[in-house]
Amino acid sequence: MSKQGNISVSVIRRLPRYYRFLGELSDAGISKISSRELAEKMRLTASQIRQDLNCFGGFGQQGYGYNVSELRQEIGHILGVDSRKKVILIGAGNLGTALAMHIDFEKSGCRLIGIFDSNKNIEGQELAGVKITDVARLEQFCSAEQPDIAVLCTPKDVTKDLVKRLTGVNVRSFWNFSHYDINVDFDDIVVENVHLSDSLMILSYGVNNT
């Protein structure tokens, strides 16, 4: 993800954690919370929380704190999880299967509507209630269904061609697990690259520097 209006990416990256945490508070029957209490629970500082939430105009009331469900709803709105995006997944191998089966797309405001692969042997099989379709039908499907997001779980060497095909039918947002760097060849797209091993390397750095 490169930019989001005028709000810094680092603030946006903290919002899913607020959203998840407020959901847990709400489930536990907690209806209001002060920034100090929220800070203690989330192990952040109260001023960090106030600063983050002030980026959106601030939701708290002096002396009252935050209304948990309203704040969660607002953050969900900012993140766009209340707008039901259509998602397709390309590459139903090990990683694609794991994502289709274990990611709660609905919880993030998304709906998995199509899965594509080039392997004819798995065509017609179902993952998470969605049939695997031959990738040859990608354009036809996208023109009819107009998905908002494509999840890319394909080998690096085929991903550029797939992105070309997808942008050709107006799919411009990618949750990219393939190690192909989409931004190098394509403009006017929204990409969130995920490299799980980056996280492991950061952990490794932490281990070496404690």
Nearest Cα neighbor of 21 from 42, 51, 48 is 42
132-170 burial, b at 16+ Cβ within 10 Å, e below that, comes to: bbebeebeebbeeeebbbbbbbbeeebbbebbebbbebe
- Asked if 52 and 14 touch (Cβ cutoff 8 Å), the reply is yes
Q: How far apart are CA 43 and CA 88, in angstroms?
A: 36
C-beta separation of 142 from 166 below 8 A: yes
Q: What is the largest CA-CA distance in the chain?
A: 62
- Would you count residue 114 as binding ligand NAI (CB under 6 A)? no
- In whole angstroms, how close is the CB of 125 to ligand NAI at the nearest point? 11
**Residue 135 contacts ligand NAI per CB under 6 A:** yes
Which residue from 154, 163, 167, 175 is in contact with ligand NAI, where contact means CB under 6 A? Answer: 154
Per-residue contact string for residues 11-50; x = within reach of ligand NAI by CB under 6 A: ----------------------------------------
Does 164 contact ligand NAI by CB under 6 A? no
Nearest CB to ligand NAI, comparing residues 7 and 191: 191
The piece of 3-11, 45-53, 62-70, 191-199 that touches ligand NAI (CB under 6 A) is: 191-199
Query: Residues in the site for ligand NAI, rule: CB under 6 A?
Result: 90-96, 116-119, 135, 153-156, 158, 162, 177-179, 194-196
